[in-house]
Amino acid sequence: MAFMVSVEVLDRPLPKPSDAAYVEARLLEALTEAKLAVEFLGRGLVRNAAGKAFQAWKALLAALLRLELEKLKALARTEEESRWLESTAVPRVPTTRMFSLSLMLEGLGYRGLSAWTERALNIHDYQYHGPDPDMALSKYRSKEEAARAILALVAEAAERAEALRGRVKWGDELEKALEALRISLSTASGSL
């Protein structure tokens, strides 16, 4: 039976960031949001897909930040920065700090994360401004360009989530969500 994207997955209360299940919940959120992005693309709703792709990436970053929290706190320059990482960065992943948080994670070995985060931020701009031939408000001149960028971002999110399989509790729900996303991506890639 195919995994259907369920509103229930996105409406469940998140475990507390201190709970071990937080990483898995954020990964499930990332995969579910990514699948919704692909579904929206299939319906021609590119700006809606952009919002879902951005949320997927943000959820993935939250999972990575929580997974690496102790290492990040050890690298913090001040006690205040250490507290901020735990109290704000992990549970909220502020959009204005996503790039710098990605750079911190790159320092722990997550290669290329900041470039993909930059793409996610560009997709976020597209969500609000739509296609922009002058590229003043959005980096994408057409909805086709944005759709390709969205598909690439959600494919990257899927790969990065799957790469965590050995480091987190990887249950049946995560496996089904990943497989459903991969099927959607293979279908969508052929239509662009």
Amino acid, res. 55: Q
- Give the predicted TM-score (pTM) of the model: 0.94
Question: Closest by alpha carbon to 181, among 33, 16, 40, 72?
Answer: 33
Which tokens hold the place of 124? 């976020």
Which residue would you say has higher pLDDT here, 19 or 165?
165
Check residue 44 and give left, alpha or beta (phi > 0: left; psi -120 to 50: alpha).
left
The predicted pLDDT at position 109 comes to 97
Interval 146-175 mean pLDDT: 97
Q: What pLDDT, on a 0 to 100 scale, did the predictor assign at position 53? A: 98
In the predicted structure, residue 77 carries a pLDDT above the cut 90: yes
Mean pLDDT of 56-76: 97
Report the percent of the chain where pLDDT is more than 90.
88
Model confidence at 20, in pLDDT bands (50, 70, 90)?
confident
Does the pLDDT value for residue 191 go beyond 70?
no
DSSP alpha helix (H) spans, the chain: 7-11, 21-42, 46-67, 69-75, 79-84, 90-92, 98-106, 113-129, 143-162, 172-191
Provide the pLDDT confidence category of residue 9 given band limits of 50, 70 and 90: confident
Average pLDDT, the chain: 94
- pLDDT at 106 > cutoff 50: yes
Q: Does 129 score more than 60 pLDDT?
A: yes
Lowest mean pLDDT among 6-20, 39-53, 120-134: 6-20
CA distance 187 to 2: 14
Q: For CA atoms 49, 154, 4, 93, give the dihedral sign.
A: negative
Amino acid 11: pLDDT? 82
Paired tokens of 19: 């709970």
